[in-house]
Structure 1
């Protein structure tokens, strides 16, 4: 059985990053989302290694064993892309296929957009590429969805991380279940005076893809760094809009693949389906879009075999 090993790598961005890796061959960088870590790629690390690739899943900036700076401004998209490019260089690869899920998807899309010389191919999961809008996003979300929208709720200093850190096992169990294909189809709108966990019910039983051991692993991985770094990513949404003006509606040129579940709440966001349908306008080399039936947000964990098949078909085609 292929072994997943762990080490720390000094990224050329200046951040010392924890990585899980397996295999040898062309580099595939796997970028997790929120609230996840390297562990969300456990099924892909071994499958890619067995197929002849060097699969590397870092804990991204602010997360788990990597941790990160205290300043919220240090979590902009330029920092995150810098970490990805710096890892590619530190791992000895001239180029890599960059794969991202959830928040990792915008990092992957922006890495391919900003540094196409470093990207052989790009894969986004759950979050399609959206071209830069004409207005700051948090302001737009406040006006169109309201103060209760979870990304707006996350702007509050100290509030969301305090909620998540009260009982991390409950946080992971409820969050992972609620956004899965087995969870309730519910818009992520926080009730007035409430919190995110108020809209994530406690499951009567865990879905078959998630065990109590998996929940315990997430709890252990977050034990030192907590949730402040991860939530800081959301606190840079408007800053990211300001910083990416030079790439306004710039195309993403490397070959691309998109994978999502048909029960993913992200695809129910305003204009998400339109963004998915029009993604080829800004990702002209989009090879394939895979939408898995009866699958929720945690696509690579919920449906690892089908995700691995789609990834390997894309990689071999490159």
Structure 2
């Protein structure tokens, strides 16, 4: 069995990052989403390593063992792309394929858009590339979904992370089950001043792909950092819009692969964007829909995800 090892690497951005890695060969950087960490790539680290790749899954800025700065303004998309690109260099590679799930997908898309000299391919899961809009996003989301929409709620100080930190085991159970293909289809809009967890039920029984040991692993990984850093990513949505004006509607050139679950509320809600993504990602090689899969693609359907990733990687 291939071993996953751990170490700390200082990205060229200056951030000391915890990474999990396996294998030797061309570098594949695996960027997790919210509320996850390196552990969400546990199945891919081994599969990619055994196929002849150097697979590296960092805890991104603010997350788990990496941790991060206290100031919310230090979690912009430019910081996150800088961490990823700087990590590629710090790992001794000139170029890499960058894969991202959930929040990791926008970081992967942006890295490919901003630094195509470093990113030789991009694999995104659950979140498609959205061209920069004409207006800051938070107010637009407020008008569309109301004040109870979780991304709008996450703009508030202190309250979102207080809710998520209160019982971390329950947070991970509710999030991972509630947005999976085995759970309900959540609206992600909390009624009457409630929080995100109010719309995600605590399951009586975990689905087959998620074990109590997995929940324990997430809780342990978050023991030191908590949720303030992860929520800070959301607090920069409008700032990201301001900072990325130079890439307004710029195409993404490197070869790309997109995967999504057909029961993922995020992907299904973005179906029109996904169907027209080649307008801005002209080298999109394949879009893979995973039947019965929810939001946690690489955890819910590891075999299918690994197969699609390796098919894409071998064709580069």
Displacement after TM superposition at 1:267 (Å): 2.1
SS in 1 for 2:298: helix
In structure 2, the residue matched to 1:297 is: 295
* Aligned equivalent of 2:25: 25
Q: What CA distance in whole angstroms lies between the structure 1 residues aligned with 2:24 and 2:268?
A: 38
Q: How far apart are the structure 2 equivalents of 1:217 and 1:191?
A: 31
Tell me the distance in 1 between the aligned counterparts of 2:229 and 2:40: 18
- Secondary structure at 1:30 match in 2: strand
Structure 1 equivalent of residue 198 of structure 2:
198
Equivalent-residue separation in structure 2 for 1:186 and 1:60 (angstroms): 26
Please, which runs of 5 or more residues in structure 2 have no aligned partner?
Answer: none
TM-score (norm 2): 0.99
Q: Which residue of 2 aligns with 1:273?
A: 271
Question: 1:153–1:190: 8 Å Cα contact kept in structure 2?
Answer: no
Q: Distance in 2 between matches of 1:199 and 1:85?
A: 36
- How far apart in 2 are the matches of 1:44 and 1:217? 17
Per-residue Cα deviation, 1:264-288 (whole angstroms, up to 9, x for no partner): 010243xx11110110000000000
How far apart are residue 263 of structure 1 and its match? 0.2
Alpha-carbon displacement from aligned partner over 1:220-242 (angstroms, at most 9, x marks no partner)? 00010000000000000000000
Q: Which shifted more, 85-94 or 140-149?
A: 140-149
Structure 1 CA distance for aligned equivalents of residues 261 and 106 of structure 2? 17
Cα distance in structure 2, aligned partners of 1:18 and 1:254? 27
1:139 matched residue in structure 2: 139
The 8 Å contact of residues 88 and 94 in structure 1, kept in 2 or not, is answered as yes
Classify the secondary structure of the residue corresponding to 2:135: coil
Residue pairs, 1:235-274, within 5 angstroms: 235-269=235-269, 272-274=270-272
TM-score, L = length of structure 1: 0.99
Q: Which residue of 1 aligns with 2:149?
A: 149
Root-mean-square deviation (CA, aligned residues, Å) is: 0.5
**2:63 aligned counterpart, secondary structure:** coil
Partner of 2:214: 214
Residues 93-147 of structure 1, C-alpha deviations (whole Å, 9 max, x = no match): 1000000000000000000000000011001100000000000000100111111
CA separation in 2, counterparts of 1:197 and 1:309? 33
Aligned structure 1 segments of 4 or more residues deviating by more than 3 angstroms: none
Q: 2:172 and 2:135 mapped to 1: Cα distance?
A: 33
Report SS of the residue matched to 2:117: helix
Cα distance in 1, alignment partners of residues 223 and 21 from structure 2 = 21
CA distance in 2, matches of 1:183, 1:247: 37
